[in-house]
Amino acid sequence: MNTHLPNSHESGLGSEIQAKIGQHLRAMYDDVVRQGVPDRFMDLLAQLDAKGPKSSESGDK
């Protein structure tokens, strides 16, 4: 079984297509980053912080 993964030269994707894919991926990532962390998620993190350290840190396992 051949487990060799093709590199960009063997995949048939030209540098122009790769650049376009990269631009679209960056645009999607930037959009996700701009959305920020939802308030509900921040509330859950605050609740976890308020509970303090886990019992495993005191030597319990």
- pLDDT tens-digit readout, 1-55: 555 555 545 668 899 999 999 999 999 999 999 998 999 999 999 999 999 876 5
Structure tokens, 5:
């993964």
* pTM, two decimal places: 0.46
Question: In angstroms, rounded to a whole number, what is the distance separating the alpha carbons of residues 38 and 25?
Answer: 22
The angle subtended at Cα 29 by Cα 27 and Cα 31, nearest 5°, is 70
Structure tokens, 3:
């487990």
List Cα–Cα distances, 22 to 2, 7, 11, 27, in angstroms: 28, 16, 16, 9
